[in-house]
Structure 1
Amino acid sequence: MMLTSAAQAIGLFIATNIDDIIVLSLFFARGAGRPGTTSRILAGQYLGFAGILAAAVLVSLGAGAFLPEAAIPYFGLIPLVLGLWAAWQAWRDDDDDDDDAKVAGKAVAVWTVAAVTFANGGDNIGVYVPVFLNVGPAATAAYCVVFLVLVAALVVAARFVATRPGIDEVLERWEHILFPVVLIGLGLVILYSGGAFGL
């Protein structure tokens, strides 16, 4: 029974978080060459995912009034705003950035990773709640433990992808364009797919 629950938790985590590898890879490309980038991305991913789990557990315990389902699509505003901000910074810095400045990468803030992770996981809440309601408190706790272990594996996988020869060069060269485009696209997809603003 325990092995079955663990296997189900692993499958559920992979299905709902595989897309995070792309976003996290871009964070790694953004912070390439900066000391502490991995630890900040890991901390941000854990903070954001802990928020997702907390919301899912609270809603499954009957606290849905604090997080109405209709509010979840509006999480898309978070990556949208962050993406627009990153695009504005890239445009502003385009004229005065030389190649030497780009080698060091940019600082990746823990709160930015956490915010994007939480916003991108808004749909995860909708998936996790019925599962948690169905399996009961003990299995829910087991699911949460497995999920939290797998968060580290997800970050390691994203770092692996971002540092592969060829991929790392493409990401570092085009990060200043890809990063805002992916965040803006992610925000728009979350807003549109959730029907925010009557879309």
Structure 2
Amino acid sequence: MSRIGAAFTEGIIAFTATNIDDIIILLLFFSQINVYFRRRHIVFGYYLGLTVIILASLPGYFGGLIVPREWIGLLGLLPIAIGIKQLLSREKETPQVQAVTSELEYDKSGNPILSFLTSILSPQTYKVAAVAVANGGDNISIYIPLFAGSQLASLGIIIAVFFLMLGVWCAIAYLLTRQPTIAYMLTRYGQPLVPFVLIGLGLFIMYERGTFNLLFPAQT
């Protein structure tokens, strides 16, 4: 197999193996789309999160900064904080807020550049990015040795495959939510469950990475 083919294959396998669970998270996000939470917030947020993870993994290419799993697990605090905030503010949204947001969306639709920039700078985008980074934080420990064993051209191909595969992931998750049965289930039952899913995700991330041992060392 050629070097390009090998890098392409490695990129697909690495992304698929480390991002299967993101399909579920994307499904939940796409099921929450409304007047103030748009598809572009989800897509931009996940691409921003993937960019952060790739940048954090690049030291592996330059010779090896190894991030301890226990410290990576601290990223689990991000979805926990977002989930708790959603629980506390669930009943605080008013029609006035939604009306203002709707007006802003209408204004932005007349100016694609403004809409693009505003979406990138939106707090909604950063919330999605925070969840993406937290859920994919452990991927750093996989990407570091993957990048470390690659030449510059292969590294570029692998990163390009990651970005392409994320687009495929977003498309699959969105199309699944367009199925009537799935859309109904997610719309009816997904909204109340999202904060608890985020909190559970954060706790699982911290548990699986051994972060609780870091925070609460065993007494000997």
Same-fold call, TM > 0.5? yes
Identify the residue that residue 48 of structure 1 maps to in structure 2: 49
Please tell me whether Structure 1 or Structure 2 has the larger radius of gyration of its CA atoms.
2
- Could you give the per-residue CA deviations for residues 113-143 of structure 1, whole angstroms, max 9, x where no partner exists? 1110011111111111111112233211210
Identify the residue that residue 196 of structure 2 maps to in structure 1: 181
User: Are 1:197 and 2:212 counterparts?
Assistant: yes
The 5-angstrom pairing of residues 28-39 of structure 1 reads 28-32=30-34, 34=35, 37-39=38-40
Q: 1:58 to 1:52 in 2, by over 3 A?
A: same
Identify the residue that residue 117 of structure 2 maps to in structure 1: none
- Could you give the per-residue CA deviations for residues 165-199 of structure 1, whole angstroms, max 9, x where no partner exists? 11111111112222112111110011001111316
Identify the residue that residue 61 of structure 1 maps to in structure 2: 62
CA RMSD after TM alignment:
2.5
Give ranges in structure 1 of 5+ residues lacking alignment.
Answer: 98-103
Identify the residue that residue 74 of structure 2 maps to in structure 1: 74
Give the whole-Å Cα distance in 2 for the aligned partners of 1:36 and 1:75: 23
Q: Match of 2:180, SS?
A: coil
- Could you give the per-residue CA deviations for residues 48-92 of structure 1, whole angstroms, max 9, x where no partner exists? 000000101134424738x555421100001111111122233x3
Q: 1:11 to 1:165 in 2, by over 3 A?
A: same
- Sequence identity percentage: 34
TM-score, length basis structure 1: 0.84
Identify the residue that residue 116 of structure 2 maps to in structure 1: none
Give ranges in structure 2 of 5+ residues lacking alignment.
Answer: 96-101, 103-121
- Could you give the per-residue CA deviations for residues 103-122 of structure 1, whole angstroms, max 9, x where no partner exists? x9xx9811111110011111
Give the whole-Å Cα distance in 2 for the aligned partners of 1:76 and 1:88: 19
Alignment: residue pair count: 188
Q: 1:196 to 1:36 in 2, by over 3 A?
A: closer
Q: Which runs of 4+ in 1 moved over 4 A?
A: none
Give the whole-Å Cα distance in 2 for the aligned partners of 1:35 and 1:88: 18
